[in-house]
Amino acid sequence: MENKTTTATTAATRPFGDSESYRPRLSYYHPNGRGTGGAIQFELHPAHGCTDGSIFATFARQKTVGTCEGSVRTFPRFDWANRICVKLDMSDLLQMLQVFRGMQESIADGKGLFHRNTHSNTIVKLEHRIEPQPGYLLEAFRRPLEGGEPSRAGVVLTVSEALGLSLAIEQSMDVIAFGIPMVIPRPNAETREPVSGTSVAPTVAGGNDYPADDPDIF
């Protein structure tokens, strides 16, 4: 029997340390009694400067089987030390949304998303499944470029989990594309003293406070 757990980290569950540098994660844990389950964590990275936004997906295989003896319960553990981490950009995420929305049964007709770095090749697959129960298979395959054993990890998301993930991806698109909106300080309208770190916009004929062609007046 497979256990399904979905969590979103909050202030109450985040690890100790600097809260400002901590990045929340959306996690799905699917252990089973055979020890063949898996877990996935998603981490949002908004666009900033010259860096495009993305969502990092981290896959891990189940490492141990949980036990329950009397009142003592040991939870399953996952092999995060040998995790598979993939950076999903906007193009990758849009292909995933096509599957979640029913526009495609799988990504690239089952070929998946191909990622390559200096150490390995990774393929991420997402496909809609009907049997043995409705859901979405999401898994990653990693093959080292120089020796080493290939690895794979993934889970079968329930329909509810897939809906939650697809909505989270959709709602993240704004900051993936444009980053977190920032308020640009304006000079004091009465004293014309600039706010720290800004410069005063030039005055045009007629006494206007801002240039006539300033697109941010209103």
Torsions phi, psi for 19 (to 5 deg): -65, -25
Quick check: 201 and 187 in contact, CB under 8 A? Answer: yes
Q: Domain boundaries in the chain?
A: 5-178
Compute the chain's Rg from CA coordinates.
24
What is the per-residue pLDDT across 91-102, written as a single tens digit (0 to 9) for each?
999 999 999 999
Reported as a single tens digit per residue, the pLDDT across 25-34 is 999 999 998 9
Between CA 10 and CA 195 the distance in angstroms is 35
Structure tokens given for 25: 């994660």
pLDDT by residue, tens only, the chain of 218 residues: 556 666 655 444 444 445 455 678 999 999 998 999 999 999 999 999 889 999 999 999 999 988 877 788 888 999 999 999 999 999 999 999 999 999 999 999 999 999 998 889 999 999 999 988 999 999 999 999 888 889 999 999 999 999 999 999 999 999 999 998 887 777 665 665 655 555 444 444 444 444 444 444 33
Q: In the beta sheet, which residues pair with residue 63?
A: none
pLDDT at 46: 94
Give the separation between CA 22 and CA 20, rounded to whole angstroms. 6
- CATH code of the domain made up of 5-178: 2.30.31.40
